[in-house]
Amino acid sequence: MNAEIIAVGSELLLGQIVNSNAQFLSKQLAEIGVNVYYHTVVGDNPSRLAETIEVARKRSNLIVFTGGLGPTKDDLTKETIAKLLGRNLVSDSYALEGIEQYFKQTNRIMTENNKKQALVIEGSSVLQNDHGMAPGMGIQIQNITYMLLPGPPKEMQPMFISYGKEYLLKQLGEVDHIESRVLRFFGIGESQLETEIEDLIDAQTNPTIAPLAADGEVTLRLTAKHRSIEMTKVLLDEVEEKITSRVGEFMYGYGTTSLVSEVMKKLINHKLTVSSAESLTGGLFAQELTNEQGSSQVFASAIVCYSNEVKQNVLQVSPDILSSDGAISEKTARTLAENVRDLLGTDIGISFTGVAGPDESEGKPVGTVYIGLAFKQKPTKVYSLKLAGTRNGIRMRTVKYGFHYILQVLNET
């Protein structure tokens, strides 16, 4: 069953509300093996809605509508669909009784147009609305299934879970289960990652492999389909093992986790604390870490050492280093990391110095970055980077690299 979700409502096109219904339905349909190939949004206009339906009928055998079932004149979804299908609208007595009861209980006058919400397409299976007035409906004509659901998520979601999904499962018979797994990578670009696993992507059938890059990271979404839930997991395990055998050093987690979350877990498990000396990043590392719940267990403090005076007077970077090598240098990064660790009494010290732009500094180009990482009883490491992008982009990616390097060392421990 290949599906298209059509959201009806001019407020969606105007950007007044977000189409969260499509996201919800796509996830729900995927769980029962229905392929969602199209999301469409159309305004409250019967002719444009009719045109949209004609297009959908040529490419989908399940069309799910949300919105346009209310009492006002611009709620025209079921009227338009009924006309296209050559069916009448009839009043559903159960729905009408519920509407009348609602107005009695709230001591409000029921206007005539509210009866419109009880109308359903003749011959359809009515989907009860336990959280509102307008019922949903499902009907199959000429091998195409039409499902109409209300627009408000608080009505639509429980209706689909309680009644809509059951209606579709009866039509589907045996169901393929779809399972997805997201692998998260950092320190490798999207193009390089794709090159390393190009043959796996070219040969993909089941599971499928979908790369996605965002915010300096790369994710791979693996999706498997099988009648057995256990077999979907086996299929995912097999393709994940092939991927990690090639690029596993860059993988740091699954799903919606983040570099900072993974670092937090490791620090707590190892009972380690960290402090930061931040020139280039201006406290961003500390901000990201303290955004995490439980950060007080692992984070001591940050010293924002933007000026050379603070580097020298607070963090004891020698004037000789600042004059000979500069503030943006390997030696300065090393000294900052070691001294902030010792000054604040933590297990780990990390430092950030570099050029975020828009102009070069100390004769060094924009994007020059040094990150110092000083673990107790381990040799201090200094990482040199050449980054590109906006000022804020360089700063944020620098912080991510900081978490990435901490995680690498922790994984070796």
278 or 112: which carries more pLDDT confidence?
278
Given a cut of 90, whether residue 39 has pLDDT beyond it is yes
Q: What is the pLDDT of residue 40?
A: 97
Contacts of residues 223-226 at CB distance under 8 Å and 24 or more positions apart, as own/partner, are 223/178, 223/179, 223/180, 223/181, 224/178, 224/179, 224/180, 225/33, 225/176, 225/177, 225/178, 225/179, 226/176, 226/177
Q: What is the arithmetic mean of pLDDT over 232-247?
A: 96
3-state secondary structure the chain: CEEEEEEECHHHHCCCCCCHHHHHHHHHHHHCCCEEEEEEEECCCHHHHHHHHHHHHHHCCEEEEECCCCCCCCCCHHHHHHHHHCCCEEECHHHHHHHHHHHHHCCCCCCHHHHHHHEEECCCEEECCCCCCCCEEEEEECCEEEEEECCCHHHHHHHHHHHHHHHHHHHHCCCCEEEEEEEEEECCCHHHHHHHCHHHHHCCCCCEEEEEEECCEEEEEEEEEECCHHHHHHHHHHHHHHHHHHHHHHEEEECCCCHHHHHHHHHHHHCCCEEEEECCCCCHHHHHHHCCCCHHHCEEEEEECCCHHHHHHCCCCCHHHHHHCCCCCHHHHHHHHHHHHHHHCCCEEEEEEECCCCCCECCECCCEEEEEEEECCCCCEEEEEECCCCHHHHHHHHHHHHHHHHHHHHHHC
Q: Sort 158 into a burial class: Cβ within 10 Å, 0-12 / 13-18 / 19+.
A: middle
Q: What residues pair up with 349 in beta bridges, in sequence order?
A: 275, 374
* Residue 91, pLDDT above cutoff 90: yes
What is the C-alpha R_g of the chain?
Answer: 29
Instruction: Give domain 259-412's CATH superfamily.
Output: CinA-like (3.90.950.20)
Percent of the chain with pLDDT over 90: 82
Choices 3.30.465.10, 3.40.50.261, 3.30.1370.110, 3.30.70.2860: CATH for 177-254: 3.30.70.2860
Cis? peptide before 158, omega within 30° of 0: no
pLDDT of residue 267: 97
Average pLDDT over residues 22-45: 92
pLDDT at 126 over 90: yes
Closest to 342 measured CA to CA, from 353, 331, 334: 334
Strands 368-375, 381-386: pairing is antiparallel
Residue 36 clears pLDDT 90, i.e. is over it: yes
Q: What is the pLDDT of residues 210-225, one digit of tens each?
A: 898 877 899 999 999 8
Q: What mean pLDDT comes out for the span 305-327?
A: 97
Beta partners for 299? 274
pLDDT in tens, 355-397: 999 999 999 999 999 999 999 999 999 999 999 999 999 999 9
């906006």: which residue's tokens?
390
pLDDT interval class at 107 (50, 70, 90): confident
**Mean of pLDDT over the chain:** 94
User: How many beta carbons lie within 10 A of that of residue 228, not counting itself?
Assistant: 11
- Residues 146-152, mean pLDDT to the nearest whole number: 96
Residues 229 and 236: their CA atoms lie apart, in Å, by 11
**Whether 145 contacts 138, CB under 8 Å:** yes
Label residues 259-277 b or e (16+ Cβ within 10 Å = b). bbbbbbbbbeeeebbbbbb
Instruction: Give me the mean pLDDT over the 149-165 stretch.
Output: 95
Amino acid at 372: G
**pLDDT tens readout for residues 173-190:** 766 778 889 999 999 988
Share of the chain above pLDDT 70, in %: 100
Q: Is pTM beyond 0.75 here?
A: no
Question: Mean per-residue pLDDT for 53-79?
Answer: 93
Which one is predicted more confidently, 147 or 413?
Answer: 147
For the chain, the distance separating the N- and C-terminal CA atoms, rounded to the nearest angstrom, is 49
CATH superfamily for 2-172 is MoaB/Mog-like domain (3.40.980.10)
The pLDDT assigned to 174 comes to 66
**Domain coordinates of the chain in residue numbers?**
2-172, 177-254, 259-412
Q: What is the mean pLDDT of residues 63-82?
A: 91
